[in-house]
Structure 1
Amino acid sequence: MKLHTILGAKGTITTQLLPVLQQHGEKIRLVSRHPTPVVGVETRSADFLDAEQTRLAVDGSAIVYLLVGLEYSAKVWRRDWPVIMGNVIAACKATQAQLIFLDSLYTYGRVEGAITEATPTRPVSEKGRILVEVEQLLLAERHRGGLPAIIAKASDFYGPGVVEKSWAGTLVFSRLKKKQTPQWLVNARVPRTYTYTPDIGQALYVLAQHPEAFHQTWILPVASPTLTGQEFSALAAEYMQGTGKVKVLPKWLFGLMGLFIPFMKEAREMMYQDENGYVLDSTRFNQTFGFTPTPYAEGIRVTAEWFLRN
């Protein structure tokens, strides 16, 4: 039985991937600095900034999922991401494990039309430039044939249980739960792709099961057509008996709040994704693996029900 190791045991996507692995009877190891014990699952503690701890965390693995989340700070990313990726690459090579790296869209920058696997990387943010450098470490190894690896791309996400790490969770579902007007970033009239977290968990496992998927980059499944912020919020409001109106948060507000709140300062450079629309096209993944993304109506309904219960 193959060992599937998740680096980033407490991450949002780990909570979706873990039950998928369990349903398929896989042998699982969860790794983070302070992993929470899970019945029937091996846990190990490791600091991924330490090469030897990372190697021991990966030892014996067939598939490694890099789902590590760092503090949302370009300074922290610049300091830590290259070290972590270097350590994970070395560990996977030493133990002959295959690697799946869950990445964001920050590397693409401003894009006209839908983002596909063929879209060039042209970052316009500091965090995007950092991730391009991190990806290059992996791509260079991949091109040399030294490591079977996948870069899996996902948009900002929403889903049951996702609150703090999701704009949709914070601004739409959480506010509707409190009987408040939902909010949206910068422009609610343009289409903005959000990826459903259970689809990410399923898709990562699908990739792990297909050797031919390695040495490639994949856009993970997203529903189509993409909703506007107004449409997304209205659907959520319908399921949560809230207002169909939406309050737009202007870009200048993040600049002002950034003077006092570090996170808002960091978030402001990503607002280009919300100004003119940001759309993903997962046709290649869907057709290659026969995958049907969860429709927005269904994903928003399930998410709304979770928020109403919790």
Structure 2
Amino acid sequence: MARHTVLGKGPVGRALAAHLADAGHEVHVLSRTGPRTGTPARTTTAAGGSVEHHRVDGTDGEALTRHARGSVALYNCVNPAYHRWVTDWPPVADALLTAAERTGAVLVTAGNLYVYGAGNQHMHEDDPLATRETKGRVRARMWHDALARHEAGALRATEVRGSDYLGPGAEAHAHAGPRMLAPLLAGGTVRPIGAADQPHTWTYLPDFAAALAAAARTPDAWGRPWHAPSPEPLTFRALVTRFAQAAGVPVPRIAPVPLAAVRALGVVQPMMRELAAVGYQFTAPFVADDAASRRVLGLEPTGWDDVVATTLDAHRSTQRAAAA
């Protein structure tokens, strides 16, 4: 058993903590709110692993250092609100670099594909980080800073970049989360952003977690980024069709929300403005090549049949619990 420290308890952080604990590891999850109300701060698994929650300011390098000491890896699974990336990310990224340098823990960042920018329709890890979009530039700067410290020998760092995620634990804002599944199962209209007929890479949350854990324990993975192994790309329409068929319901009407409408809403809603800025990901092919990560990390993505079945089961269980 090894000790791991995860900063952030959103969908990726929770999936990663569960993956590590199920493998028998001791996991410390740091967040600004700590354990959820009414739940124990520490839980254990049948495999002998544990997850322990702590309330910590993610911008406090000293606090992160104290909690990460003794850990083999420190994972960055934070995800500020889109419209706050410019202000909220830099102090967190700096604090994580400080903690990784002082503790010797491998810094593993859960990244995304925004760094490549519009026009790159088939992305590889060695492509230039050519984005002109604000959020992508923030994430590109974070990676450049971590890589510079890695190359200087001050710490060990790697990054796993996932695409739009789906699966158990996906929250309301996820394109293939409840905002898709709820109307699909209710016989309503599904309204994706931008378009529904462009090939798109989707990353299954448990696969993302497995890739982060593998990158932490694989020395050959350090010092460069990786794309999370993901099943074959699907258009949004094909994705909806798979879920409808698996659920035994009619394929719903799909009515994309034009980017012009999203931009108009962005005049008064900052989150919609930031969503429109990355709308290119759905109006053109958006495919991530994961051949290198499959080879080096030794992982294969979960097949679509299992992804769909498990995601549907989890969504239905959540709905039943909410109704009860």
Give the Cα separation in 2 of the matches to 1:287 and 1:50. 36
Give the Cα separation in 2 of the matches to 1:182 and 1:66. 32
* Offset, 1:305: 2.5
Q: In the alignment, what sits opposite 1:2? A: 2
What TM-score do the two structures reach when normalised by structure 2? 0.89
User: Which segment is superposed worse, 100-109 or 160-169?
Assistant: 160-169
Give the Cα separation in 2 of the matches to 1:16 and 1:26. 14
Give the Cα separation in 2 of the matches to 1:161 and 1:44. 20
Give the Cα separation in 2 of the matches to 1:122 and 1:132. 9
Give the Cα separation in 1 of the matches to 2:177 and 2:192. 11
* Offset, 1:42: 3.0
Identify which of 95, 99, 102 aligns with 1:91. Answer: 99
* Offset, 1:63: 0.7
Is 1:259 matched up with 2:267?
Answer: yes
Contact 2:113 2:162 in 1 (8 A): yes
- After superposition, the CA RMSD in angstroms is 1.6
Q: Per-residue CA shift, 1:11-67, capped at 9, x if unaligned? A: 101221122212221121111112212314333221112222222222222211110
- 1:70-89 map, 5 Å: 70-73=80-83, 76-89=84-97
Give the Cα separation in 2 of the matches to 1:43 and 1:163. 20
Q: Per-residue CA shift, 1:144-179, capped at 9, x if unaligned? A: 121111111111111123132411114321221332
Give the Cα separation in 2 of the matches to 1:189 and 1:13. 27
* Offset, 1:284: 0.8
User: SS in structure 2 opposite 1:25?
Assistant: coil
Is 1:163 matched up with 2:171?
Answer: yes
* Offset, 1:244: 4.2
User: SS in structure 1 opposite 2:11?
Assistant: coil
Distance 1:68 1:112, change over 3 A: closer
Give the Cα separation in 2 of the matches to 1:231 and 1:189. 8
User: SS in structure 2 opposite 1:54?
Assistant: helix
Q: In the alignment, what sits opposite 1:28? A: 27
Q: Per-residue CA shift, 1:204-241, capped at 9, x if unaligned? A: 122222122111211111112x1111111111111231
- 1:235-250 map, 5 Å: 235-240=242-247, 241-250=249-258
User: SS in structure 1 opposite 2:192?
Assistant: strand
- 1:276-287 map, 5 Å: 276-287=284-295
Give the Cα separation in 1 of the matches to 2:61 and 2:298. 38
Q: In the alignment, what sits opposite 1:212? A: 220
Give the Cα separation in 2 of the matches to 1:182 and 1:272. 19
Q: Per-residue CA shift, 1:265-293, capped at 9, x if unaligned? A: 12110001111120011111112233221
* Offset, 1:298: 2.4
Identify which of 269, 282, 293 aligns with 1:274. Answer: 282
Distance 1:290 1:97, change over 3 A: closer
Q: In the alignment, what sits opposite 1:53? A: 63
- Between the two proteins, the alignment pairs up a number of residues equal to 306
Q: In the alignment, what sits opposite 2:113? A: 105
Q: In the alignment, what sits opposite 1:233? A: 240
User: SS in structure 2 opposite 1:13?
Assistant: helix
Give the Cα separation in 2 of the matches to 1:168 and 1:209. 30
Q: In the alignment, what sits opposite 2:10? A: 11
Give the Cα separation in 2 of the matches to 1:210 and 1:30. 22
Contact 1:181 1:242 in 2 (8 A): no
Give the Cα separation in 2 of the matches to 1:230 and 1:7. 34
Q: Per-residue CA shift, 1:163-205, capped at 9, x if unaligned? A: 3241111432122133212222212111011111111111112
Give the Cα separation in 1 of the matches to 2:306 and 2:250. 18
Unaligned ranges ≥5, structure 2: 36-40, 45-50, 320-324
Distance 1:111 1:118, change over 3 A: farther
Contact 1:172 1:236 in 2 (8 A): no
- Report the identity percentage: 27
Give the Cα separation in 2 of the matches to 1:29 and 1:147. 20
Contact 2:19 2:206 in 1 (8 A): no
